[in-house]
Structure 1
Amino acid sequence: MESLLSGAIKFMEEDFVAHKTLFESLSDKQIPHTLFVGCIDSRVVPNLITNTLPGDLVVVRNIANIIPPYRRSEEYLATTSAIEYALQSLKVENVIICGHSNCGGCAALYLEESKFENIPNVKRWLDLLGHIKKDVEVATRNNPAKREWLTERLNVVNSFQNLLTYPDVKAKFRDGSLKIYAWHYIIETGEIYNYNPVSKTFRLLGVDK
């Protein structure tokens, strides 16, 4: 805790001062250009990965960076409502769906039921990926290494497809007014692979097609 307090003091005394003009411009409004949907994993740091400043990103995080299909409900839909707000109220121009390597949420799909005894809501949330689990088990024949990256990538593709069910998204994506990127971020190398919905492949960012 001491390091967190020291960090907060450093922010007030140094980092804030270095960006004082920026923060003043953000005091009564925000105009983010991008919605970043990522995992709650502590190793995934949106502004660091994208080299962006405060005010650039509106961030939605949950276990395994899942975008559920759009629906209206009397339930409390945190992820859906946040994405809806970013798209309809903030009018973001881009969406980044960022999955990552060694994702605990994706790996948890293959755990025994007993492991969820104390985290039933996590189990229920991961039910959204039940169909992915079935496809991966058939494709990988229980090869752990292949199962891991295939689950992570299919999860990103699934969220990409679910995003298209949100109001106006498919039309805006088709006419180019909304750009959607689906990433697989490799923690240990820093590499980011982007999904191409036409070729249905992942390509390393910065590498010519």
Structure 2
Amino acid sequence: MLINDLIKGNKKFREVSFPKFEGDVKDLVENGQKPEILFIGCSDSRVTPDLMLDTKPGDMFILRNVGNFVPPYNLDNDYHGTSAVIEYAVNVLGVKHIIVCGHSHCGACKSLYTDLSNTPELAQVNKWLELGKRAKEYTLLAIRDKSDMEKLYRTTERISIVHQMENLLTFPYIEKKVKNGELQIHGWYYRIEDGNIEYYDGEKCSFETLKED
């Protein structure tokens, strides 16, 4: 895809799609955004939150990073982009739901099984991948056949979602809101190959097919 394709795409968007929700956008401009959902997804170009969930502007506050990882709460004088988004969504926008959405064929989870320590141009990536280390460790304990790499990757992807949900609860204000029933945390797994979504069932400790209530 070329830049010119994006320019043509914007023209088509303005002419075809934008008129369908122009009124919604004007209201959002005049009255501000009030999303009830914080969606934490991966930066993978194959993951398309608005398309796969059929949402419109104003529905979700979206955070995307490598591996849809959530660092544990750490209040220091450093730059914390992911934590800043979470803090704003919960404490300013007052979202009611946080969705941690992992996906199949995740490059971040696959990279957990590759040694990047001697690749200086990926130093930041290598450091960030430490947030998936526990998921890898749990996977290696759970799966006997270590030669089945596809099974290792798919299992790691799902287990990582659960660990990121746990990391969210290290944020004091999130833990408080969850305990008070003001906030819910959801773990979703998006299958790129067929568009289906699984959700984490905490009681069963397993991922089940997402269905309407």
Give yes or no for TM over 0.5.
yes
Q: For 2:131, what is the secondary structure of its paired residue?
A: helix
Unaligned runs of 5+ in 2: none
> 2:36 is matched with which residue?
33
CA distance in 2, matches of 1:14, 1:201: 41
* Deviation for aligned residue 1:196: 1.4
CA distance in 2, matches of 1:96, 1:113: 29
* Kept after mapping to 1: 8 A contact 2:134/2:163: no
**Corresponding letter in the other structure for 2:131:** L
* Kept after mapping to 1: 8 A contact 2:117/2:123: no
Unaligned runs of 5+ in 1: none
CA distance in 2, matches of 1:180, 1:46: 17
> 1:10 is matched with which residue?
12
Identical pairs, percent: 38
Of stretches 113-122 and 36-45 in structure 1, the one that deviates more from structure 2 is 113-122
> 2:153 is matched with which residue?
148
Q: Deviations over 1:147-183 (max 9, x none)?
A: 0111101110001111111123223324432122101
Q: For 1:43, what is the secondary structure of its paired residue?
A: coil
**Corresponding letter in the other structure for 2:26:** E
**Corresponding letter in the other structure for 1:126:** L
CA shift in 2, pair 1:166/1:3, >3 Å: same
* Deviation for aligned residue 1:115: 7.1
* Kept after mapping to 2: 8 A contact 1:95/1:179: yes
* Deviation for aligned residue 1:39: 0.1
CA shift in 2, pair 1:114/1:75, >3 Å: closer
* Deviation for aligned residue 1:61: 0.5
Q: For 1:156, what is the secondary structure of its paired residue?
A: helix
Of stretches 146-155 and 173-182 in structure 1, the one that deviates more from structure 2 is 173-182
* Deviation for aligned residue 1:114: 6.1
TM-score, with length taken from structure 1: 0.93
Q: Deviations over 1:102-158 (max 9, x none)?
A: 000000001133673321100000012222222222332422121011110111000
Q: For 1:27, what is the secondary structure of its paired residue?
A: helix
> 1:169 is matched with which residue?
174
CA shift in 2, pair 1:152/1:115, >3 Å: farther
* Kept after mapping to 2: 8 A contact 1:116/1:122: no
CA distance in 2, matches of 1:129, 1:32: 28
Tell me the matched-pair count.
Answer: 208
Match for 1:83 among 62, 86, 106?
86
* Deviation for aligned residue 1:15: 1.8
Q: Show structure 1 runs of 4+ deviating over 6 A.
A: none
